[in-house]
Amino acid sequence: MKVLIPSALRSYTERAEAEASGATLGAVLADLDHRYAGIRFRVIDEQDRIRRHIRIFVNGVQVRELSQALGASDEVVIVQALSGG
């Protein structure tokens, strides 16, 4: 499936779009990490939850659980919030 990568994570993929497979969001992120070592840690924290500054959308709907089932034709978009002071 197609995964859109935010600019802050493109140092891993070297492109704005990547391919990954898996039956759940967690499996897709694990596949991405297999292809682009280290990217999962930037998205998922030590408690196996999506990091606070990351939003993930599947077909335009925000997803919060790694157990979310996905289909092969789904589009996953990872969004990284910007912060500053």
Number of structural domains (the chain) is 1
Kindly state whether residue 85 falls inside one of the protein's structural domains.
Answer: no
Number of separate helices (H) and strands (E) present in the chain: 3, 5
pLDDT at residue 75, rounded to an integer: 97
For the chain, the straight-line distance linking the first and the last C-alpha, in angstroms and rounded, comes to: 36
Confidence tier at 81 by pLDDT (50, 70, 90):
confident
Mean pLDDT of the chain: 94
14 φ/ψ sector (left φ>0, alpha ψ -120 to 50, else beta): left
pLDDT at residue 82, rounded to an integer: 72
The span from the CA of 75 to the CA of 77, in Å, is 7
Name the residue range of residue 45's domain. Answer: 2-80
Kindly state whether residue 69 falls inside one of the protein's structural domains.
Answer: yes
Kindly state whether residue 54 falls inside one of the protein's structural domains.
Answer: yes
pLDDT at residue 84, rounded to an integer: 59
Kindly state whether residue 59 falls inside one of the protein's structural domains.
Answer: yes
pLDDT digits (tens, 9 = 90+) for 23-62: 999 999 999 999 999 999 999 999 999 999 999 999 999 9
Q: Residue 18: which CATH number?
A: 3.10.20.30
